[in-house]
Amino acid sequence: MKTERRNSFAPVLLGLMAAMLLIQMIQNGTFTRNPELGYALLLVGMVLAAMLFSRRKQQRELAGSAAYLAKSEIPSTRFKDVAANDEALEALRDLVSFIREPENYAVLGARIPRGVLLYGMPGTGKTLMAKALAGEAGVPFFAVNGADFVEMYVGVGASRVRSLFHKARKCGKAVIFFDEIDAIGKKRDNRSDEREQTLNALLSEMSGFGERDGVVVLAATNRVDTLDEALLRAGRFDRQIEVPLPGVAERLQILNVHAGRIRLSDAVSLDALARQTALFSGARLECLLNEAAILAAKRGSDQVEEQDVQRAMERSLFGAEKHGLSRHEHERHITAAHEAGHAVATAVLLPESELTRVSIIPTSRGAAGYSMALPPEKMFHEKQELQCHIAVALAGREAERMLLGADRVSTGASNDIEKAALIARRMVCEWGMLPGSDDIYLFSQQQKDMAAQQWLKQGQQLASQVLAEHHAVWTALTQRLLEKETVDGEEVRRIMQ
């Protein structure tokens, strides 16, 4: 940034030097005796002036080149078009009457938040909500991205911010939406002049609203913790609305909305699909149905069947299956034993989790196989339950140890060990769960590591115990996977019985 600023002054300094030298030549008569030198200096000055004019013109074009600054329209989206997220939508409904009739609040001395920050996981519908707010209020909608304000020329981003707010005020009433606000709103560190000037311009514009202005600023981010404190203070983005991942009922609403454009078979149950898609965002649910429609079209079917939805689900979670990959029979046996170990431990230790599919077909994401279980949605998890999750994660490695011996276990459990270690660390460091103790706090890192290691050890012992007690079931499931490569949850339950 500083180099660009120095480079912009170079033509000015060179032009001034050429002009001063030309004037001195005219005064002492050198220009008359040597006109070629004088004309050369004049030509240099004209070239430098042209360069400066071109650079200034380029900066002005950059400052106003973004087409979004000139575009504003009243969206057709309404709150009824936004499925789920009722709590977040209710918080936005207050702003509709403020935009329409701000004088009613000013008479009573009330001030509705003019800066609203929507935060949450990606794909939860933050942009759609902002558009619905403008559509419900019937005002122009200015949608911009934070990255559009970060340029190489110092001052361009700040100029764009001022131009954007000027255009919004000219409309009288409007909604300005900043997507990915953290691109310009991160905590200041005195490293980027352009980013800081842009942020300062935004802070200044948001503080300059009159009490009767009908302009509301919305912003969306996935990382509210990285935003500058001045941006979050009262009077700017002083209302923060969380847009969480949808629950079961909300996922069903979202699926019904997106299923309206897809020809689904009557055998496809959206209610069952909503229960199977825990932790799916609205965007991911839409992508799931779209992928199912693509798979159905590739089959040549005239409607989307249940098998297309399940294949799309597996692709979303594990990646596409790689049937053409040739593997050694020994590796297939190890994978079958590994995945059977996960499945048996899940069925025994976590009966609330619905085991839907076990496969030893490699996937495009590098997995040699997978065991798919759908956990119940909970707000809290008990210590015993978390220990069972550790045991399930380590059951694949324990199955390999039972099959081959401790000295011949493979590298296939790397991701399982990582998951188990993460749960153990969080149990100790975040949730105050210590093995065999009622204490909560451990202050030294060595104590925390030892406690986490104890949880891993207990989980390993529990997995080994379960597989030893259900050795016949594990063996039968392993053999079934070698024969069919894929076993559904119903067949696993029959084998368990």
pLDDT in tens, 262-283: 899 888 889 988 888 888 888 8
Q: What is the pLDDT of residue 287?
A: 92
Give the phi and the psi of residue 357 in degrees, each rounded to 5.
-165, 140
Q: What is the pLDDT of residue 45?
A: 62
Residues 77 and 60 in one domain: no
Q: Are 15 and 52 in contact (CB under 8 A)?
A: yes
Residues 372 and 489 in one domain: yes
Instruction: Identify the CATH number of the domain in which residue 254 sits.
Output: 1.10.8.60
- Which residues lie closer than 8 Å to 49 by C-beta, 6 or more apart? 11, 15
Of 296, 318, 340, which residue is a domain's last? 318
Instruction: Identify the CATH number of the domain in which residue 223 sits.
Output: 3.40.50.300
Is 41 inside a domain boundary? yes
The total number of structural domains in the chain stands at 4
Of 182, 216, 242, which residue is a domain's last? 242
Predicted confidence band of residue 26 (pLDDT cuts 50, 70, 90): low
Q: Global pTM?
A: 0.72
CA contacts within 13 A on the Cβ side of 202: 30
pLDDT tens sequence across 388-438: 999 999 999 999 999 989 888 888 888 899 999 999 999 999 898 888 777
Is 324 inside a domain boundary? no
Residues 31 and 174 in one domain: no
Is 235 inside a domain boundary? yes
The sign of the CA dihedral 73, 78, 83, 87 is positive
Q: How far apart are CA 426 and CA 424, in angstroms?
A: 6
Residues 61 and 75 in one domain: no
Q: How far apart are CA 259 and CA 416, in angstroms?
A: 35
Residues 467 and 363 in one domain: yes
Is 84 inside a domain boundary? yes
Q: How far apart are CA 52 and CA 57, in angstroms?
A: 9
Residues 284 and 426 in one domain: no
Is 364 inside a domain boundary? yes
Q: How far apart, in Å, are the Cα atoms of 423 and each of 121, 245, 339, 343, 389? A: 21, 21, 20, 19, 8
pLDDT tens sequence across 325-352: 657 888 889 999 999 999 999 999 999 8
Is 144 inside a domain boundary? yes
Q: Which domain holds residue 398?
A: 329-496
Q: What is the pLDDT of residue 234?
A: 80
Residues 238 and 310 in one domain: no
Is 323 inside a domain boundary? no
Active site residues: 339
Residues 34 and 97 in one domain: no
Instruction: Identify the CATH number of the domain in which residue 485 sits.
Output: 1.20.58.760
Residues 457 and 370 in one domain: yes
- Which residues lie closer than 8 Å to 16 by C-beta, 6 or more apart? none
Of 318, 348, 363, which residue is a domain's last? 318
Residues 87 and 206 in one domain: yes
Of all residues in the chain, the percent with pLDDT exceeding 70 is: 81
Is 32 inside a domain boundary? yes
pLDDT tens sequence across 123-165: 888 988 989 998 988 888 988 888 777 765 556 777 888 888 8
Residues 280 and 264 in one domain: yes
Residues 221 and 115 in one domain: yes
